[in-house]
Structure 1
Amino acid sequence: MKNLALWYRRFGEPGSVLHAEASAPAARRPEDLRVRMLYSPVNASDLIPITGAYRHRTPLPAVAGYEGVGIVVEAPASFAQQLGKRVLPLRGQGTWQRYVDCPAAYAIPVPEDINSLLAARAYINPLAAQMMLDLSPPGGKTVLLTAAGSDCAILLGQWASHAGAKAVYGIHRSPVHAERLAARGIIPIAQQDTAAVNAAAARAEVVYDATGGALAEAILSAMPEQGEFVCYGLLSGQTFRQQRALPRVRWFHIRNYLDALSPGAWQAEFHRLWPKLRASGCSDAALYPLTEWQRALSAYHEAGRTGKPVLAMGD
């Protein structure tokens, strides 16, 4: 059995510091599953740690990737029923490799009717969206999304509507996103349309922001004081300053909530998640062989991208 993994041994630009390395897998710990990976997506949350942004909690060397789906090929006796079944091998090793070991209690079984390409993307964005909506409920409120063409924002918008939001507005940078947002019940607003952005911000009672920077500052300056601004990303690469005491700003980082979840609570989050994913519209997947990972990273950074780059792990 040979493994192929995308390692980084120093921090820097992902295209420069990632390297594909082939080796035999290390010995499996008795409490772990071994999973032959099928697919793993490319997310901002996969790339940002490689740059060193979180170096204080990113020990090197490391294999990149945080989510994906695969088939169990080895298991402890108490999890023998998982052999041959699809799981999400989460909270273990990096997932940008052909074989991943993960704690058996935290591996998420995939329902039979869930497509593997959807299952591969069922963790980072969907779980973050679900948790944010739990923490800052949108029912009866006007909602505003930034980076609305992103996978997380599209789920936030759909699920906010299902939870009873009065209206959901989505700020997007590329015009290619407008039609797909409208098709999912999200009112599209071009980021360049300053008047429309300010008007939506003035009505927004809950904002889910993934950009930070000048856009976040503009929204905060126009929002009602009784509103709530939830920041879950800084895709602009810039932080922001709040010029007044209100509205309330909440920073959401999914990692801050994971350690508090027992294995049972962790599994329960996904039991709630699968029905939502079944009923949601998501972006299409664009497949790239693991050996062509550089192309996948280039595709991720393309302006106006509507598909999600996904690494296909097969030989």
Structure 2
Amino acid sequence: MSHVNQGLWYRQYGTPQEVLQLEKHDLTELAPGQIRVKMLCAPINASDLVPITGAYRHRVPALSVAGYEGVGIVCETSDNSSLLNKRVLPLRNEGTWQEYVTCDATLAIPVPSDIDHSLASRAYINPVATWLMLKHFNPHDKHVIVTAAGSDSALLLMQWAKWLGAGSVTGIVRAPYQEALLSSMGIHSIHESEVDLLKNCAQQSEVVYDAVGGQLAETLLSALPPESSFVSYGLLSGQPFKQHFTLAKTHWFHVRNYLPDMSIEQWQAMFQGIWPLLKQSVLSKPEEIPLQHWKEAIDLYYQRSRQCKPVLVL
């Protein structure tokens, strides 16, 4: 095994393409209970890029390897671990946009043999958020609205809500190809510019999962009935929202608020529930890009009309 590790570091906040640097560092010895994972691939998500800009500077230091999820093969352990040579998700430790990740063995998630590398690499950020949102804001027998319906998180929310028995699911879209995709999945769609249709739909809805914020959130909130729940889990518009003349219950959802209270057993069991759902879910197709071409991968992520998921091959 190589004793040199290569990864994407940022040492100051700013535009990811400008502040990220591909650096090489010597590997350190493993501490008791740790494993070392030779990474295979890692996707690019909004949650990976936003901290680099400094948006969460109060809790994310500007001296970090980027990336929160990915998959790799355990190449070294500090003891006789049964995980050696197995595929795992090395989560909640070091950044994943590097060739080798050091991870607490109890937090590493074993990957089933019938899940391919690319899908496995995307099994944390969006699936865990979806799992927890649907658990805490149950869609069963309810009329559901999901905004930013072309995103992977929204695609999972819509499909899993249907499987959990939602009365109806409506996706709010911004591009024609998204309408066609949702139609092929049996999901009704409304373009975000159709304000009257949005309000009519909201008047009959009981749960909204929103990742946009801004004017769209305010439009929906203005029409939701008092007994409904508005779950905000992102601000893709970059704009906050206010509640004007509405009694709907607003909830701010962040995965990080749920993990500290989760035992290791609960953490591992959650993925046992996620794997079979993820395997049958429709997601955007991966576009694999070598780590050395990371700028191209990030540029692709920011393309407005993007229909694929950039995945770094490590």
Specify the TM-score bucket, using the shorter chain as the normaliser: over 0.9
2:31 aligned with 1:35: no
For residues 70-110 of structure 1, give each alpha carbon's deviation from its aligned partner in whole angstroms, at most 9, with x where no partner exists.
000011325x2111110000011000001000110000000
For residue 82 of structure 2, give the secondary structure of its aligned residue in structure 1. helix
Displacement of 1:6: 0.4
Q: In the TM superposition, what whole-angstrom CA distance separates every residue of 1:162-218 from its partner, at most 9, and x where no partner exists?
A: 111111000111211111112222211111222222222222210000001110011
Query: Deviation of residue 60 (structure 1)?
Result: 2.9
RMSD (Å) for aligned C-alpha atoms: 1.0
> 2: CA distance between counterparts of 1:312 and 1:219?
40
Note if contact 1:158-1:185 (Cα within 8 Å) is conserved in structure 2.
no
Deviations 1:1-24 (A, max 9, x none): 221110000111111111110122
Letter in 1 for 2:23: E
1:61 and 2:63 correspond = yes
Structure 2 match to 1:100: 101
Alpha-carbon distance in structure 1 between the residues aligned to 2:142 and 2:172 = 17
**2:259 matched residue in structure 1:** 258
Contact 2:224–2:246, Cα closer than 8 Å, also in 1: no
Indicate the residue corresponding to 1:19 in structure 2: 21
Aligned counterparts, 1:153-302, within 5 A: 153-244=154-245, 246-302=247-303
Q: Secondary structure at the match of 2:261?
A: coil
Which segments of 5 or more consecutive residues in structure 1 lack a partner in the other structure? Answer: none
Give the structure 1 partner of residue 46 of structure 2: 44
AA aligned to 1:230 is V
Counterparts of 2:13 and 2:89, CA distance in 1: 27
Q: Structure 2: how far apart are the matches of 1:135 and 1:54?
A: 25
- Counterparts of 1:1-16 in structure 2 under 5 Å? 1=2, 2-16=4-18
Question: CA shift at 1:304, angstroms?
Answer: 2.2
In structure 2, give the amino acid aligned to 1:5: G
The CA deviation string for residues 122-144 of structure 1, in whole angstroms up to 9 with x for no partner, is 00000100100000000111000
Q: State TM-score, norm by structure 2.
A: 0.97
The CA deviation at 1:30 is 2.1
Aligned twin of 1:142: 143
> Do the aligned residues in 1 keep the contact of 2:221 with 2:246 (CA within 8 Å)?
no
Structure 1 runs, 4 residues or longer, greater than 3 Å off: none
AA partner of residue 185 (structure 1): G
Q: For 1:110 and 1:270, locate their aligned partners in 2 and report how far apart those are by CA, in whole Å.
A: 9
Question: Are the counterparts in 1 of residues 87 and 110 from structure 2 also a CA contact under 8 Å?
Answer: yes
CA distance in structure 1 between the aligned counterparts of 2:291 and 2:146, rounded to whole angstroms: 33
In structure 2, stretches of 5+ residues that fail to align are: none
Choose 85-94 or 193-202, whichever is displaced more: 193-202
Are the aligned partners of 2:70 and 2:122 in contact in 1 as well (CA < 8 Å)? yes
Write the distance in 1 (CA, Å) between the matches of 2:309 and 2:72: 18
* Distance in 1 of aligned mates of 2:156 and 2:129: 10
Shift of residue 245 of structure 1? 5.2
Q: Distance in 1 between matches of 2:58 and 2:90?
A: 24
How far the C-alpha of 1:231 sits from its partner, in A, is 0.3
Write the distance in 2 (CA, Å) between the matches of 1:111 and 1:38.
15
Counting aligned pairs with the same residue, the percent is 50
TM-score by length of 1: 0.97
Contact 2:223 2:246 in 1 (8 A): no
For 1:182, what is the secondary structure of its paired residue?
A: helix
Mapped partners of 1:28, 1:304: distance in 2: 43
Distance 2:69 2:35 in 1: 15
Tell me, in whole angstroms, the C-alpha distance in 2 between the residues paired with 1:296 and 1:125.
Answer: 19
For residues 307 and 185 of structure 2, the distance between their equivalents in structure 1, rounded to whole angstroms, comes to 14
Specify the code of the residue in structure 1 equivalent to 2:294.
W
Could you tell me which amino acid in structure 1 is paired with residue 289 of structure 2?
Y
- Corresponding letter in the other structure for 1:48: V
